[in-house]
């Protein structure tokens, strides 16, 4: 094993510990942690099996293995951004609905308070 492989394995290990710690503290939801764990697992795999990236790039017809890494990362980032956009849109819809419900409840409360004052 080369020095860079040992460093990469250590970084992946500490990254997995850090994401686990964030879950325990409630600062990261499990559904998002799975994405980070899969990424760390892939990096761990290629840290141990350094020839693997070359084999996969030849199989897919990519001439330079680093181009495969960048292309895959760009694709993963785009998919993740699409997922986060969907989550954000859903949350915005829920906030709008809650705001409307709160306005209706506030108006009803105001009406009840004015009715109680006149009695």
Same domain, residue pair 43 and 75: no
Instruction: Tell me what pLDDT residue 24 has.
Output: 94
Average the pLDDT over 95-116 and give the result: 95
Same domain, residue pair 44 and 83: no
Better-predicted residue by pLDDT, 112 or 1: 112
Instruction: Tell me what pLDDT residue 49 has.
Output: 87
Same domain, residue pair 118 and 86: yes
Instruction: Tell me what pLDDT residue 10 has.
Output: 93
Which 3-state string (H, E, C) describes 64-101?
Answer: CHHHHHHHHHHHHHHHHHHHHHHHHHHHHHHHHHHHHH
In this predicted structure, the answer to whether residue 1 has a pLDDT above a threshold of 80 is no
Residue 63 belongs to a domain: no
The distance in angstroms from the start CA to the end CA of the chain is 85
Query: Average per-residue pLDDT in the chain?
Result: 91
- Number of structural domains found in the chain: 2
What's the predicted TM-score (pTM) here?
0.68
Residue 21 belongs to a domain: yes
Better-predicted residue by pLDDT, 2 or 104: 104
pLDDT digits (tens, 9 = 90+) for 4-54: 889 989 999 999 999 999 999 999 888 888 888 988 888 888 888 878 888
In this predicted structure, the answer to whether residue 119 has a pLDDT above a threshold of 80 is no
Q: Which domain holds residue 98?
A: 70-119
Tally Cβ neighbours within 10 Å of residue 84.
Answer: 11
């Amino acid at each position: 094993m080369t020095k860079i492989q040992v460093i990469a394995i250590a970084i992946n290990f500490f990254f997995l510990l850090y994401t686990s710690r964030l879950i325990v503290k409630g600062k990261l939801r499990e559904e998002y942690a799975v994405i980070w764990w899969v990424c760390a697992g892939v990096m761990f795999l290629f840290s141990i099996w350094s020839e693997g990236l070359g084999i996969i790039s030849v199989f897919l017809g990519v001439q330079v293995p680093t181009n495969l890494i960048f292309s895959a990362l760009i694709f993963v980032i785009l998919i993740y951004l699409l997922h986060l956009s969907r989550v954000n849109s859903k949350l915005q819809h829920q906030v709008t609905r809650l705001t409307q419900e709160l306005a209706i409840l506030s108006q009803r409360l105001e009406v009840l308070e004015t009715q109680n004052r006149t009695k």
